[in-house]
């Protein structure tokens, strides 16, 4: 059976396809997939999902391999093999606030999708904050008065800038990672080893 790879939709998907193509794999069916969430190539079966769901499909063995941001792995701690970093998806975690807005001394409220990372960040600083969980467009929260600041990933910094926010602190750096289902690595070793090795060669070249 073909190996199944779960791929995080969006930015990581685009960057992975460039990487995958540079390794001379067939990407044509993936580029022209339209709105399909499951695509077969000559060698692989691909599924496209949100990052956290990529880890779920890999953890449950539906997908053998997954391509996902390390931020998701740190936040959700899925039971998967975290194989190696990939040469794309570089970003960092930042605490950001509105430009020119006073940072309150007490009773701070922070909006984030990454509530575990946020909790740990403030725990290490010995500061107590209220955390509000949002699923996306977190930059809206300070603008609309829902929160004093946000903890979110920053790649180019454009989203912060265009929404009048500035970085107050940066504290983690990430890249995309290749993850694997624990049993697949043993049961499907013959088919997965060449794929993993070709990815690793691609990483070494970059
Ligand atoms: C992520 C993140 C920021 C943005 C940062 O959002 O949450 O909003 O990217 O990227 P930048 O620094 O290059 O502007 P994403 O596009 O994944 O969508 P989301 O807001 O739904 O999380």
What is residue 73's predicted lDDT score, i.e. its pLDDT? 98
Contacts of 136 (CB under 8 A, 6+ apart): 113
- Residue 1: per-residue pLDDT: 84
Cβ partners under 8 Å of residue 25, min gap 6? 41, 43, 44
Q: Please choose from 141, 143, 152 the residue to mutate so as to test ligand 1's pocket, defined by most ligand atoms within 8 A of CB.
A: 152
> What mean pLDDT do residues 174-191 have?
96
Q: Where are the domains of the chain?
A: 4-89+175-205, 91-173
Average pLDDT over residues 20-48: 95
Q: What is the pLDDT of residue 176?
A: 98
Residue-wise pLDDT tens digits, 46-93: 999 999 999 999 999 999 999 999 999 999 999 999 999 999 999 999
Does the pLDDT of residue 162 top 80, yes or no? Answer: yes
Res 105: pLDDT: 84
Instruction: Tell me the pLDDT of the chain averaged across its residues.
Output: 96
C-alpha distances (whole Å) from 67 to each of 32, 54, 97, 153, 197 are: 19, 7, 31, 17, 15
Rounded-to-integer distance, Cα 12 and Cα 10, Å: 6
Centre of ligand 1 from the C-alpha of residue 76, in Å: 18
Q: How is residue 136 written in tokens?
A: 């996306």
Q: DSSP for 65-101? A: EEEEEHHHHHHH--SSEEEEE-SS--EEEEEEEETT-
Q: Supply the pLDDT for residue 189.
A: 95
Give the model's pLDDT for residue 106. 84
**What CATH architecture is 4-89+175-205?**
3-Layer(aba) Sandwich (3.40)
- Residue 163 pairs in a beta bridge with none
Give residue ranges with CB within 6 A of ligand 1.
10, 136-139, 152-159
Percent of the chain with pLDDT over 70: 100
Q: Looking at residue 146, what is its pLDDT? A: 97
pLDDT higher than threshold 90 for residue 194? yes
What residues does 118 pair with on adjacent strands? none
Instruction: Please tell me the distance between residue 11's alpha carbon and the centre of ligand 1 in angstroms.
Output: 9
Position 206 pLDDT exceeds 80: no
Q: Kindly list the strands in the beta sheet with 65-69, ordered across the sheet, starting from the edge strand earlier in the chain.
A: 38-40, 45-49, 4-8, 65-69, 176-180, 81-85
**139 CA: nearest ligand 1 atom:** 8
| Token pair recorded at residue 195 | 């794929």
How much distance in Å is there from the Cα of 153 to the middle of ligand 1?
7
| Whole-Å CA distances, 58 to 39, 70, 72, 130 | 17, 14, 13, 32
Q: Say yes or no: do domains 4-89+175-205 and 91-173 share a fold.
A: yes
pLDDT in tens, 113-151: 999 999 999 999 999 999 999 999 999 999 999 999 999
CATH of 91-173, one of 3.40.50.150, 3.40.50.261, 3.40.190.10, 3.40.640.10: 3.40.190.10
Cβ density class 40-49: b for 16+ within 10 Å, e for less: ebeebbbbbb
Instruction: Give residue 205's pLDDT.
Output: 83
What pLDDT is stored for residue 150 in this prediction?
98
User: Angle at which helices 189-205 and 11-22 pack, to 10 degrees?
Assistant: 90
Which strands form 165-174's sheet, in the order they lie side by side? 129-133, 108-112, 149-154, 91-98, 165-174
Ligand 1 nearest-atom number relative to CA 159: 14
Say how many Å lie between the CA of residue 71 and the centre of ligand 1: 12
* Ligand 1 centroid from CA 94, angstroms: 12
- Nearest residue (by CA) to ligand 1, atom 1, is 153
Q: What is the share, in percent, of the chain residues with pLDDT greater than 90?
A: 94
Q: How confident is the model at residue 192 (pLDDT cuts 50, 70, 90)?
A: very high
């Amino acid at each position: 059976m073909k190996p199944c790879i779960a791929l995080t939709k969006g930015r990581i998907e685009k960057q992975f396809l460039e990487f995958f193509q540079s390794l001379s794999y067939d990407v044509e069916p993936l580029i022209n997939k339209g709105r399909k969430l499951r695509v077969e190539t000559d060698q692989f079966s691909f599924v496209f999902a949100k990052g956290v769901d990529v880890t779920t499909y890999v953890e449950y063995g539906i997908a053998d391999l997954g391509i996902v941001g390390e931020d998701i792995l740190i936040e959700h701690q899925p039971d998967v093999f975290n194989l190696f970093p990939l040469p794309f998806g570089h970003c960092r975690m930042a605490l950001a606030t509105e430009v020119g807005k006073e940072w309150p001394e007490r009773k701070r409220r922070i909006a984030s999708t990454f509530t575990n990372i946020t909790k740990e960040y403030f725990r290490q600083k010995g500061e107590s904050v209220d955390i509000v969980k949002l699923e996306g467009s977190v930059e809206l929260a300070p603008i609309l008065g829902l929160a004093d600041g946000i903890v979110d990933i920053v790649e180019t910094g454009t989203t912060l800038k265009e929404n009048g926010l500035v970085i107050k602190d940066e504290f983690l750096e990430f890249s995309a990672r290749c993850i694997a289902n624990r049993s697949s690595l043993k049961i499907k070793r013959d088919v997965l080893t060449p794929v993993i090795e070709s990815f690793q060669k691609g990483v070494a070249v970059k």
